[in-house]
Chain A
């Protein structure tokens, strides 16, 4: 008898390949999943029963390569076949509610659809293990027609799915590909998957994962785990941490990466649900800080999302995450106690992960803070090393400020930590918990000047004229003027833009290009900033050029010199000149040449 089901199969196949599944190769996963479900269902009926699956790649099946997938599971009755077809008709995607109502039978139908991505015809022979069922043959075709027949021949209970390779899907029917995919998805399955090709039959999932094995000694265990890591990821891991959680019924292993993972490579764990591969991009199973490991984990009691590519975010997942996080944490703490040398190596690779945990975990912080590296203007060092030589910890909170202060601080013999990196400032702020005797001070380029020496009263009188002119020259640039004595003596002046000053400067620069409307908006923004936080030019009285300039009586020359010192100080601070400063540079340079030529002519006359 011929029937026609009311779905647009073309549309569904498109949907499957473009939306529900990430690639055509998942047809293997779906076949395995169907087999698993059928075996599990049958073992409820008969606990003595032993399930197994068989994938056969006949040398030739008609003109096309073929694939036969067989399981000895529960099988389907005629009625159930109609039910799965109804499910296909009703749902255009994996609607969880509907599938749960129809149990694995509904799942079966949807899973079968993925086979159309590689085969124009799907032939199913099945016989139910329930009662005295008949063998049924269902043959579905990509054009949307199917036929159903009751066969005379009796097969053993179970299901056999036969696929005929469609054009351009040949790769998916190669023995190597099928072996790779089947073991990729099903390597953890607790019943054998046999694969037969022209060469013979092999069990592709014979090896047990190490967490299911017993080992005679620790050395052997270590060897096995690391070998498993190598075989799975082709990575020589630094170490391994067995994972187990009764919540979520999770077991597996976390491998410590031998390199610092890039952002994109974090959270790429291989996660199995009930022994079938769920995803290699699962999020949320480990705490966010735990990006120093790569895991293989099986969970029996967590719920997958509809796409079956990650877990449902619920209280159970949260609790599992905490339990697994604890185990990683204990590993680190044990390492700190038992092999500090290994820990030091691990920290070199994964200090970011450790810092991420330490900022939020007081006990962990106490243990690890002394090991963690920080960047300073005198090289990278741990806090213990820093404190050995200094009573006060100075740190700056952003990269720009660090660049501005590093050199000057060094010439004052001040060791400054660059705490611009993500967790550093927060870690430093709680250093007193462990080292109560040190004091901690956040500085920026402004506060650096506090350590500069003031001029004597006499000296102040001598530079009064100089300061007055300087203030006048720099007024249009919203830059205040100071003169102090500081090291290094070669530095004539320091341009300081801490706090809001740098931001104000970028507003000014931006206003050079914006139209009236946006300039008004920028003025609004600026009006909300601290009016006292302008830039500052601090002259160094110890510098011989500055010293000479303070004595200049010629106002033109004084102005030119001030302008040039200002521009030079900005350039030395690695800031690009804005248009007005560029004009100042040009004007100053030409002015100097003119002045020099005039002076020279005056001299030869």
Chain B
């Protein structure tokens, strides 16, 4: 009996390996986990869950990734020496990398997690470069600017080791840091090898393309922005873990008045909101949709002010015939973004998210038509 189940597990894993990251891969690995749990074979249960953590984090199911990781960490601690220390620490990094996205997890708990990762890293003989990177990200998440900047510099001062990110990811982080500091031109200079395809890894330059869109618009470099939107959107369009980056593309399309394409992108990705629980992704996407519909609402063209959209029945303002009012949708997404923002602000004990929303309409100042002409491509 157990051979048959093992074979079934093996088949599921083989199929899962053949898939890009996403729900399908996650559901195959979940099925394999259930089978392994039935066998009560600890090694197997652990190994498959390791794969599942990866699939979840890189496939946009951050909450499932977190739960699965906590199981692995508990088993790791209860069975000293049985599982790879580096591998669990590496995954721990992924988890602290998304932990801020859960507004229901209080700040002290996040700090405690970062401290725990720091302890474990040191005990395993690694430095703190990776931990400082995540402390920087956390502080940046709640806009504790000075602390964030300090941690970034402390990260840079630490030597690289096996726990720190690959050089491509680190370059992307530097780009992000420069943008955070308001140094758009420097950021673009740094980003060059990423943007032109010379340096790449699993998630870079996917994120980079989205991150440089607003800086490019600020610098008046619409033409470059358009090219990076093209390539960047292709790279992120198939993976739910990039929903926040898709929000950036949506904003870009709105501000360059490529409304038809913006609506297509919206229509294609809205369903993702219903298929994952990540509140931060929801916030970012709702904010982008709000900005788009607000601009469309003021449009003289009726087909834009009252766009026809194909949305799932479960979309709360769903209408049967598919004809929507941009005004109403703007209001709905604004409310949604505010509600999510409040949850983050309550946890973060400040008003950064509310402030981000308050400043969003000001992005309209960057509005400048720059149409995508299909025939040029």
Chain A positions near chain B (C-beta within 8 angstroms): 262-263, 284, 287-288, 305-307, 310-315, 317-319, 322, 360, 397-400, 403, 420-422, 426, 429-430, 442, 503, 506-507, 509-510, 513-515, 517-518, 520-522, 524-525, 527-529, 574-576
Q: Using Cβ atoms and an 8 Å threshold, which residues of chain B touch A307?
A: 198
Confirm or deny: B312 has a beta carbon within 8 angstroms of a beta carbon on chain A.
Answer: yes
Confirm or deny: B112 has a beta carbon within 8 angstroms of a beta carbon on chain A.
Answer: yes
How many angstroms between the C-alpha atoms of A576 and B45 in the bound complex?
Answer: 12
How many angstroms between the C-alpha atoms of A522 and B112 in the bound complex?
Answer: 15
Q: Is the CB of B109 within 8 A of A400?
A: no
Q: Is the CB of A506 within 8 A of B197?
A: no
Over the window 168-207 of chain B, the binary record of Cβ atoms lying under 8 Å from chain A Cβ atoms (1 yes, 0 no) is 0000000000000000000000000001111000000000
Confirm or deny: B70 has a beta carbon within 8 angstroms of a beta carbon on chain A.
Answer: yes
Task: Given contact pairs A284-B197, A576-B35, enumerate 13 new A-B contacts (beta carbons under 8 Å).
Answer: A306-B198, A311-B197, A312-B196, A313-B231, A360-B268, A426-B268, A429-B271, A429-B310, A506-B68, A510-B67, A514-B70, A521-B113, A527-B104
Q: Using Cβ atoms and an 8 Å threshold, which residues of chain A touch B103?
A: 528
Q: Out of A400, A426, A503, A521, name the residue touching B27 (CB < 8 Å).
A: A400
Q: Using Cβ atoms and an 8 Å threshold, which residues of chain B touch A527?
A: 104
Q: Is the CB of A305 within 8 A of B198?
A: yes
Q: Is the CB of A520 within 8 A of B197?
A: no
Q: Is the CB of B70 within 8 A of A305?
A: no
Which partner residue on chain A sits nearest B237 by CB separation?
A: A360
Confirm or deny: B323 has a beta carbon within 8 angstroms of a beta carbon on chain A.
Answer: no
How many angstroms between the C-alpha atoms of A127 and B74 in the bound complex?
Answer: 72
Which partner residue on chain A sits nearest B227 by CB separation?
A: A315
Given contacts A263-B17, A510-B71, A575-B34, contact A314 B227 (CB under 8 A): yes
Q: Using Cβ atoms and an 8 Å threshold, which residues of chain B touch A314?
A: 196, 227
Q: Is the CB of B377 within 8 A of A318?
A: yes
Q: Using Cβ atoms and an 8 Å threshold, which residues of chain A touch B68?
A: 506, 510
Q: Is the CB of A521 within 8 A of B105?
A: yes
For chain B, give the interface size range. 35 or more
Q: Is the CB of A528 within 8 A of B102?
A: yes
Q: Is the CB of B67 within 8 A of A507?
A: yes
Q: Using Cβ atoms and an 8 Å threshold, which residues of chain B touch A310?
A: 197
Number of inter-chain CB pairs below 8 Å: 126
**Chain A: minimal CB distance from B304 (Å):** 19
How many angstroms between the C-alpha atoms of A199 and B323 in the bound complex?
Answer: 78
Interface-lining segment among B18-26, B142-150, B159-167: B18-26
Q: Is the CB of B196 within 8 A of A429?
A: no
Q: Using Cβ atoms and an 8 Å threshold, which residues of chain A touch B75?
A: 513
How many angstroms between the C-alpha atoms of A506 and B66 in the bound complex?
Answer: 11
**Chain A: minimal CB distance from B183 (Å):** 24
How many angstroms between the C-alpha atoms of A496 and B169 in the bound complex?
Answer: 42
Q: Out of A262, A317, A399, name the residue touching B28 (CB < 8 Å).
A: A399
**Chain A: minimal CB distance from B25 (Å):** 9
Q: Using Cβ atoms and an 8 Å threshold, which residues of chain B touch A515?
A: 74, 77
**Chain A: minimal CB distance from B117 (Å):** 12
Which partner residue on chain A sits nearest B112 by CB separation?
A: A517
Q: Using Cβ atoms and an 8 Å threshold, which residues of chain B touch A421?
A: 24
Q: Out of A312, A322, A520, name the residue touching B198 (CB < 8 Å).
A: A312
Q: Is the CB of A513 within 8 A of B197?
A: no
Which partner residue on chain B sits nearest A574 by CB separation?
A: B34
Confirm or deny: B53 has a beta carbon within 8 angstroms of a beta carbon on chain A.
Answer: no
How many angstroms between the C-alpha atoms of A69 and B89 in the bound complex?
Answer: 53
**Chain B: minimal CB distance from A520 (Å):** 7
Confirm or deny: B64 has a beta carbon within 8 angstroms of a beta carbon on chain A.
Answer: yes
Confirm or deny: B78 has a beta carbon within 8 angstroms of a beta carbon on chain A.
Answer: yes
Confirm or deny: B11 has a beta carbon within 8 angstroms of a beta carbon on chain A.
Answer: no
How many angstroms between the C-alpha atoms of A263 and B16 in the bound complex?
Answer: 11
Q: Is the CB of A422 within 8 A of B197?
A: no
Q: Is the CB of A503 within 8 A of B63?
A: yes
Which partner residue on chain A sits nearest B49 by CB separation?
A: A510
How many angstroms between the C-alpha atoms of A267 and B220 in the bound complex?
Answer: 36
Q: Is the CB of A422 within 8 A of B24?
A: yes
